[in-house]
Structure 1
Amino acid sequence: MTRPVPGSAGPPTAVPTAPPTPGRSPWSRIRPATVGLPLLGLVVTVAVWWAVTSGLHLVHPASLPPPQAVGTSLTSSADVLLPALGTTTLMTLLGFLLSAVAGVLIGMALAASRRIERMFAPLLVAINAVPKIALGPLLVVSVGWGTKPILTMVFLLCFFPIVLSTATGLTTTPADLAELARSLNASWWQSFRKVRFPAALPQIFVGLKVAMPLAAIGAVIGEFYSDKPGLGYQILQYNGVGDTATAWAAIVLIAAMSILLYSALSLVERLALPWVRATTSAR
């Protein structure tokens, strides 16, 4: 495409112009290293695992089975482990969503009033400091069997980092943005909705990403004290009969589930907050 140059004598001179650049999809930014390096790390980890268990015989197979034994058990017990994986994934997601909603609301309350923060912040720290594994038997007595102890355990493990990140994000609004809202005579709600909450979203997502693996841990611990046949329940069952290879297969599935859920949350953050990478240093 060409365009005439104004102010020149004689006939217009044709100057080339760049064609319009189509919008780039977020998927176009995915580089081969994004997938290749994690796969390489997985290969190295499995190789070290094999060397420790089968190559050098540094660990007894009863304590840590070799990767080939775990893979065989994963295949032979797939009819049991895959439904258990679905149960654990569902409990993890439900507990995480409950923790996210409650954690953001509690963090907003702490950020809105310094008096409320001084009243309840020490209590929240104390609750977070209690060893959650010690609460397992008590939860069965308090809330009964089924999904309640599992969701309660997930909530207890997840809510604190979400509360802390939300309160921190809402109380550290950039000064120039806060001054801009005041100069425009924005109401408290307008300032919160247009300035403070969007500015706090990167911090909130930090808390959510910290809480996601904790949700998987809480679901497994809760299943230790529940009748739900999730992966935690299967670990106890197989370990009780001495089938450590299948128990480790369940642990591998828990790790894979956690990686996928964390990656999905990171993708949601990338799509929901496109301005963060544009305003921070890239790596």
Structure 2
Amino acid sequence: MVAVALPVLFLLTLIGAWYLLVRLYDVPPQVVPSPETVGSELVRLPEYLATQSWYTLREVWAGFAIAVVIGVALALAISASRVVDQAVSPILVGFNAIPKIAIGPMLVMWFGFGMQPKIFVVVLLCFFPIVLSTVAGLRSTPADLIELTRSLDASRVKTFLKVRVPWALPQFFTGLKLAISLAFVGAVVGEFIGGGRDGIGYVIVAAKANIQTGLAFAGIFLLALMSIASYYALVALERLLLPWSRETTS
């Protein structure tokens, strides 16, 4: 109960401060809308905003799932082979440094104006933290534990499945939680540059063009809400699959 009450209380405090500052400094609604203006937009267009939110959420989870599959496969190859590690890791670091918005127009040219280029941007942003956290987790197994499995004549496959994978899972979930937050950034960036008339990113751009700042803030609020829900869905999954993790770490 406390875990829910404290964030809600803090959010209400922020909204109260926002309301007071807007009223105190008489900020024009075209610059920063008041909380009640944002609330009225959420009430005025519930079906439209729900449809656009669902579109963005599908982009996020589709790209996130693809990034998990590819990222874990590559992380397994890197952790299993020094040659693959030395060949691939520098390329990954360099590729991750490329601003994803710079290749957005090319993605539109390659994939068109549908959902595909936006999903691809999500994959690009999620991919690196998943690979990095999975590799770090697989390599974090204590050497004495590996020696113990060898002394018991355990095969490499059994050692991997029974020792390395469980040891790596907490760091793997850390990467997933970081990646899901980046996924929403990727989806909105894709919607900004990918054209089309779908998604919360489009809602924000269109609202700003029409000087509907309240609607733009409503879209930002929905993005934050979806991001929080997705993050804590992964937290719940982690606690379900790794009940021992919180007891064995500080």
Could you tell me the TM-score, scaled by structure 2's length?
Answer: 0.96
1:216 — aligned with what?
A: 184
Q: Does residue 160 in structure 1 map to residue 128 in structure 2? A: yes
Q: Does residue 53 in structure 1 map to residue 22 in structure 2? A: yes
Work out the number of aligned pairs and report it: 249
Q: Which moved more, 1:218-227 or 1:94-103?
A: 218-227
Distance 1:110 1:128 in 2: 16
2:202 to 226, 233, 237: 233
* Ranges of 4+ aligned residues in structure 1 off by more than 4 Å: none
Ranges in structure 1 where 5+ consecutive residues have no aligned partner: 1-31
Aligned residues of 1:73 and 1:249 also touching (Cα < 8 A): yes
Distance 1:54 1:103 in 2: 48
1:151 to 99, 119, 126: 119
**CA deviations over 1:51-89 (Å, ceiling 9, x no partner):** 2222333x5422221111111111112121111011111
Distance 2:44 2:100 in 1: 33
Question: Compared with structure 1, are the counterparts of its residues 228 and 174 closer, same or farther at alpha carbon in structure 2 (3 Å cutoff)?
Answer: farther
Distance 1:55 1:44 in 2: 16
1:274 counterpart SS class: coil
1:267 — aligned with what?
A: 236
**CA deviations over 1:85-120 (Å, ceiling 9, x no partner):** 111111111111111111111111111111111111
Name the amino acid aligned to 1:221.
V
Q: Does residue 185 in structure 1 map to residue 153 in structure 2? A: yes
Q: Which has the larger radius of gyration?
A: 1
Distance 1:132 1:43 in 2: 35
The CA RMSD measured in Å over matched residues stands at: 1.3
Ranges in structure 2 where 5+ consecutive residues have no aligned partner: none
Could you tell me the TM-score, scaled by structure 1's length?
Answer: 0.85
Shift of 1:260: 0.4
Distance 2:72 2:197 in 1: 29
**CA deviations over 1:178-236 (Å, ceiling 9, x no partner):** 12211111111111111101110001001000001101111111112132511111111
2:100 — aligned with what?
A: 132
Distance 2:197 2:234 in 1: 26
